[in-house]
Structure 1
Amino acid sequence: MSQDSESFIRQLFKAFTDFSTDVESLRGFLTPDYRQLVDGRELTLDDFISHAKALRTHLHRLDINVQQIVCQGNKAATVHIAHAIRSSGESSRIKVIAFYSFKDGRISLIDELTYVLEGGNADRELGSVQ
C-alpha cells in the first residue's frame, strides 16, 4: 500500500481539517480497533472522533502542512506542521512526528509526538483534546 499510503494520509488530513465535513466520515479512514498514541496518551477510535469534534469546537481553522513523508509497505511516517487558529484569533503552530500502520486498507495505528513551535501552554493539549 506504500504508493497509496501517501495519498491516503493526505486525504485523511484534508477531511480532518475540513470542518464542513461530517466528523463521522473520518471513521472510514481508520480500522475499528484503531489506536492513537499522542504524547503518552492513548486514544481509541471513539476517542479520536471526540477529539475531532472538540477541535472543531475550539478552533476556527486547522491547516496541516506535510514537511516529510516516507511510506513503505503497510507503514508510513510523517513530519508535519499543524497551524491552528482558535475562534479568538489566537494561533499556534505544532510540529508533529507521526508513525502510521495500515491494516485492511485503513490506518490501524498512529503513534505521534508533538512539539509546540508557537503558542501557549494550552496548545500542548491540542493533539489529544476531548
Structure 2
Amino acid sequence: MINYKDLIKDSFKAVVEDLHYSQATVDQYFSKNYRQYVDGKELDYERFCRHMRIQKQSIKGISIDFKTIVQENHIVFTRHIVNITTVENRTAVIQVIAEFHIEDNKIQYCNELTHMISGDQRERDIGSRQ
C-alpha cells in the first residue's frame, strides 16, 4: 500500500508552511478536481488556490504539528495543531481534524473542522479565508 500519510505531511510542508505561493507546488500535490469543505464552507480548486495566496499575504509564520495521522487505503485522517503569527503579530493556535481522499497520488478531497484553542478571534477563519 502506498504511504499517503507522507504525501499529506509533505503537502503541508510545501504548500501551507512555505510562506511563498507556488502554483507549481500546489499542482504537484492537489488535483484540479480538488474540493475542500471547512467549517461549512466549500472551496473548489480555484478558490483553494486563492485562499492559499490570501493566507500567505496575512501570515509571517505558520507551523503544523501532526498529533494523529491514520491511513486506510486512499483515505487519510489527521488531527493537527496549527500555530500562526500574522504580519500584525497576532497569534493563534488552531486544532484541525481532517479527512483527505487521495486519487492518482494527489489530494482530491478534504473535509475539515477547525477549533481555535487560543489567539485573536480575527484569525478564526484562517482555514478558509478568501
Which category describes the TM-score, using the shorter chain as reference length? over 0.9
Q: 1:20 to 1:46 in 2, by over 3 A?
A: same
Query: Who is 2:31 aligned against?
Result: 31
Per the TM alignment, residue 27 of structure 1 is displaced from its structure 2 partner at its CA by 2.0
Count of residue pairs the alignment pairs up: 129
Per the TM alignment, residue 5 of structure 1 is displaced from its structure 2 partner at its CA by 0.6
Matches within 5 A, 1:55-66: 55-66=55-66
Q: Unaligned stretches of 5+ in structure 1?
A: none
| TM-score between the two structures when normalised by the length of structure 1 | 0.93
Moved over 2 A (4+): none
The alignment partner of 2:89 has SS state of coil
Matches within 5 A, 1:1-130: 1=1, 3-15=2-14, 16-20=16-20, 22-130=22-130
Q: Which amino acid aligns with 2:38?
A: V
Alpha carbons 2:80, 2:96 under 8 Å: kept: yes
How far apart in 2 are the matches of 1:108 and 1:23?
16
| TM-score between the two structures when normalised by the length of structure 2 | 0.93
How far apart in 1 are the matches of 2:127 and 2:6?
22
Alpha carbons 1:27, 1:45 under 8 Å: kept: no
Q: Which amino acid aligns with 2:108?
A: S
The alignment partner of 1:129 has SS state of coil
Q: Which amino acid aligns with 2:100?
A: Y
Per the TM alignment, residue 59 of structure 1 is displaced from its structure 2 partner at its CA by 0.5
